[in-house]
Amino acid sequence: MTINNAVNAMAGFFVMLSLLLGVEGSPIFQSSYWLWFTAFVGLNLFQSSFTGFCPAAMIFKAMGLKEK
């Protein structure tokens, strides 16, 4: 798995988890405040597309995942 694939998988997992925790119709609903985490993940993906700075990518690189 490459760093890019790992970042995409992690972001997708966090978005789906935070939606499950934040939407009232969900069987594991906790609080609508979880939707702020969804927004954080989306904004981080958006800014990293312009700046190239992604903390998750740096962590995955340190863990030894390959770039391509």
What pLDDT digit, counting tens, does each position of 10-35 carry? 999 999 999 999 999 999 999 999 99
The pLDDT confidence band at residue 1, using thresholds 50, 70 and 90, is: very high
Separation between Cα atoms, residue 52 and residue 29, nearest integer Å: 34
Indicate the length of the chain as a whole number. Answer: 68
The arithmetic mean of pLDDT across residues 35-56, rounded, is 97
